[in-house]
Amino acid sequence: MNKIILFFFLLVACLGYAPVSGAVQNLYSTEVPVTDTSPDVRQAAIRQAFGQVLVKASGHRDIKGKSGMKDLLKHAGNYVQQFRYRTKPGAEGEDEQRWLWVAFEKSMVQKALRKLGLSVWEQGRPQVLVWLAHELKGRRRLVDPEQNAGLLQALQEAAARRGLTLLVPLMDLQDQSALRVSDIWTADRQSIEKASSRYDAQVVLAARLKKKGAQWSGRWTLFLADTEKTFDSRATDEVSAATEGLDKVIDWLASRYVPAVDSESAENVKLRFLNVRSLQDYSLLMSLLESLDAVSGLAVEASSGDQLLVQAKVRGGRDILVQRLSLESALTPLVSIPDDENAEPDLELTYRLR
């Protein structure tokens, strides 16, 4: 490693722990429809908006029954930072729709979530690429952005309500030649991941929707680097079956990657990275680590050759860091096996930068 890179590493190390950045945009604001601008209607809309922001900021949707939720909603106005009205054109033949946009104070939202036993999923949210196929009257087809725009828009809106970005394939000639409807129906991981490589998404989701009688059913397969999970959904219409399935997927992601609120005391975790050969590699690696919501601070401890040793302060501890880094395609985890089988396991996490 040349002297310029080494000097840069040592400069960062001397600075000690650096605060992380990269928060999700619009995490603490939302808008809801209103009939007029009267105080009573506005107060009801603010309560509705506050409930939506608590869901979006935490990643958890099942919060209505939590202890203290009713009291939080009752005093939702105390958390407002600013609000404004705007109008949207109505559908053909319909009047304009008035909306109330509300932004809530970040620190107050975080405090409210702590009261509910939740924490903010503010950083490190993965982008999710979704491949869809559906069967209607015995005929199976890949869902197309043009022909099925309403369904895909409903899914993207459902993801946005949870604070996640949902990527939809272009379904151009390249996608159509790379993937068949049978690949989605059988959840063929190899074919799906190969077709997904052009989109550079951290999480890939394959779903099939089928109508039988008056019911729509869905099967959702989530592909991660270290695991594969399947979820089922059922509803009387296709959009509801789709959004319910997506919500179940996001429920699982939130349960796995969001630090528990009772893990405020951070644990120090050492990470060794191999194949760090340039300033560009270093910048990529540090940006990746700083994007993790569970990481509250970083310090470079040593560098030698193409190796970098970093100490991270992690809310939730080692396990949640391992789970979160499993989403990163730029890192390959390495397992250290002690020479002596009775020796203590290596407490460092070791990764190779691809």
Residues β-bridged to residue 33: 99
Rounded CA separation 280/285 (Å): 9
Q: Is residue 19 part of a domain?
A: no
Q: Are residues 266 and 252 in the same domain?
A: no
Q: Are residues 54 and 99 in the same domain?
A: yes
pLDDT given at position 17? 35
Phi, psi (rounded to 5 degrees) for 88: -120, 145
Q: Is residue 151 part of a domain?
A: yes
Q: Which domain holds residue 149?
A: 128-257
Q: Over the chain (354 residues), what is each successive 10-residue block's mean pLDDT?
A: 42 37 69 96 98 95 92 96 92 84 96 90 84 94 94 95 94 95 97 94 94 95 90 97 97 83 72 93 90 84 91 84 82 66 61 91
pLDDT given at position 74? 96
Last residue of a domain, one of 59, 90, 115: 115
Q: Is residue 171 part of a domain?
A: yes
Q: Are residues 68 and 142 in the same domain?
A: no
Q: Is residue 40 part of a domain?
A: yes
In whole angstroms, how far apart are CA 163 and each of 36, 120, 126, 153? Answer: 28, 11, 10, 15
Q: Is residue 14 part of a domain?
A: no
Q: Are residues 187 and 303 in the same domain?
A: no
Q: Are residues 223 and 145 in the same domain?
A: yes
pLDDT given at position 336? 55
Q: Are residues 205 and 324 in the same domain?
A: no
Q: Are residues 294 and 336 in the same domain?
A: yes
Dump pLDDT digits (tens) for 234-262.
999 999 999 999 999 999 998 888 876 65
pLDDT given at position 200? 84
Rounded CA separation 102/31 (Å): 6
pLDDT given at position 198? 94
Q: Are residues 321 and 296 in the same domain?
A: yes
Last residue of a domain, one of 208, 237, 257: 257
Q: Are residues 209 and 297 in the same domain?
A: no
Q: Looking up tokens 């089988």, which residue turns up?
A: 341
Q: Are residues 145 and 80 in the same domain?
A: no
Rounded CA separation 76/49 (Å): 9
Domains held by the chain: number: 3
Last residue of a domain, one of 228, 257, 286: 257
Q: Are residues 239 and 323 in the same domain?
A: no
Q: Are residues 220 and 180 in the same domain?
A: yes
